A and B are shown apart, each in its own frame.
Chain A
Amino acid sequence: MSEYSVELKGIGQIYKNLLKEDTVALQDINLKIEAGEFISIIGPSGCGKSTLLRIIGNLDKPASGTIDYRDGANQQMGFVFQDSVLLPWKNVRQNAEFPLVIQKKRTPENEEKLDGLLELAGLTEFRDALPRELSGGMKQRVSIVRALSYDAPLMLMDEPFGALDALTRDHLNEELLKIWSKTQKTIIFVTHSIEEAVFLSDRVVVMSARPGQIKEIVSIDMPRPRDNETRNQPAFTEYSKYLRGLIG
């Protein structure tokens, strides 16, 4: 058995309502995520996939269950939000560097790594640009580089490309895979796009709604590196079809 990155044990989440019955947002989620794995979570809207990610990211407390991180309670994580949440007064370089400033890790070595990441994301020539001068796709790249800048081993991504057009999204998917293979991160990726999940993932977690439960975990056995050709292969279509059937 390979080394795990995060293990979820019996995670449940309940929202109390005064007038109606309580809403069970998540029920008994058990999931072991391997180190270096790319795992996607999909499901109909309202199935609690974002809630689950927020719980993993310690942004919300679960009503029940525990989470084991490989590095314990002090687990460093990177989080990429649906909206890029760049700080509007900082330029691209400063935004990407922001976590290093906050965590007081501005060593020459980290700065150099950061420049490498900006290069990898194709942002080098925009390093002095302000967020409002960038397109949605560009902003999201900066946001990803920012999440990578402090070298957290675990990356949580909450529909990061959800607001982008299909072409930009496909393109960024390929870039994300490149970055992932170079940096060896564990990535937990929430999306509502089946194709995106198939294209990116080692495993896809399919959730059902009300109560949010894991319906099935599907391993995507397609060769890597994956590129534009991958989307044309019969296996890709098969997986997509199968997952679509599961979500119903």
Chain B
Amino acid sequence: MKTNHKLRKVLGGIGEYVLSIGTFVAIWWIYVAVKKPPAYILPSPSKVWTSLVKLFASGEVYPHLWTTTYEVILGFIIGALLGIALGYAFSKVRFLHDMFMPYLIFMQTAPKIALVPLFIVWFGIGLVSKVILIISMVLFPVQAGMMLGLDSIPEDVGNLMKILKATKWQIFSKVEMEYSLPALFSGLKIGIVQAVIGAIVAEWMSGKQGLGYILTYASSTYNTAMLLAGIVVTILLGIFTYECINILERRFLSWHISQQV
């Protein structure tokens, strides 16, 4: 009875996806059929699909997909860990917060694309400058989430730990980390989306590898079908990595009110 209900919900969710994408593709199709724009402006969905299938069938896309995924995962993990550490330090030591928070906000509000050329000058056109850009994009939302989580711990929880004569490590691992998880996960979810954006943007400007490179290559050769296919792959990568975080969240936050059906 219960699994039946769950299954129906999942199928319903998939159905909604199919319906909304189907509608979009149908409108696109009709527009192309009626207006007949040149293929380099807007190819038909079937051409994009063929191009997409070709990307995968020829195996052309895999090294690029792998490069981008690798950058995203590496940058995300480092950025997330740094964000957690910084968030913890800032929330615990007021002085650090007052001292360095302005720089972080400054860095966050500066348009990231503007920083890429600078990173390239500093760190070269290889993996390092790309990963650094991704880290800079992941760091802030994760750190903000961590700080929000820590700051929302009720004061008496700290008093309880004091009464129990808990060690600092126990307080961190058994209470603070767990309490921060809901806010931390919203930061991580923003972070992973930002990580994919960061990787693509960095690849536009440097290197001969990655999905971003496919996009600039297709664009510069007026292969719009391939460009759109590349965008689809990017979106799929984004959805995939986002869902990974979602699954982790569901696993760790099963107790939280937000996870209730």
A-B contact pairs, 6 of them (CB 8 A): A59-B159, A59-B163, A81-B159, A85-B157, A85-B160, A98-B164
Bound: A85/B164 CA distance, A:
14
A78 at interface, CB cutoff 8 A: yes
**Partner of B163 from A78, A87, A88 at Cβ < 8 Å:** A78
Q: Which residues of A contact B168 (CB under 8 A)?
A: none
Interface residues on B, range: 20 to 34
Residue of A nearest to B163 (CB): A79
**Contact at A102–B255, with CB atoms within 8 Å?**
no
Interface set of A (CB-CB < 8 Å, partner B): 54, 57-59, 77-79, 81, 83, 85, 87-90, 98-99, 101-103, 130, 132, 150
Q: Which residues of A contact B170 (CB under 8 A)?
A: 102
Chain B residues 150-174 with CB under 8 Å of chain A are 154, 156-157, 159-166, 170, 174
* Residue interface bits B45-76, CB-to-A below 8 A is 1, else 0: 00000000000000000000000000000000
Q: Which residues of B contact A78 (CB under 8 A)?
A: 163
**Partner of B178 from A58, A77, A89, A102 at Cβ < 8 Å:** A89
**Contact at B255–A130, with CB atoms within 8 Å?**
yes
**Contact at B165–A103, with CB atoms within 8 Å?**
yes
Residue of A nearest to B255 (CB): A89
Q: Which residues of B contact A88 (CB under 8 A)?
A: 255-256
Residue of B nearest to A143 (CB): B160
B175 at interface, CB cutoff 8 A: yes
Q: Which residues of B contact A150 (CB under 8 A)?
A: 164
Bound: A200/B179 CA distance, A:
35
Residue of B nearest to A150 (CB): B164
**Contact at B166–A83, with CB atoms within 8 Å?**
no
**Partner of A87 from B164, B166, B175 at Cβ < 8 Å:** B175
B84 to chain A, nearest CB (A): 18
Residue of B nearest to A104 (CB): B170
Bound: A58/B161 CA distance, A:
12
Bound: A92/B14 CA distance, A:
37
**Contact at B157–A102, with CB atoms within 8 Å?**
no
Residue of B nearest to A57 (CB): B163
Q: Which residues of B contact A103 (CB under 8 A)?
A: 164-165
B257 at interface, CB cutoff 8 A: yes
* 16 extra interface residue pairs, beta carbon distance < 8 Å, beyond A87-B157, A89-B256: A58-B163, A59-B159, A77-B163, A81-B159, A83-B154, A85-B154, A87-B175, A88-B255, A88-B256, A89-B253, A99-B164, A102-B161, A102-B165, A103-B164, A103-B165, A130-B255
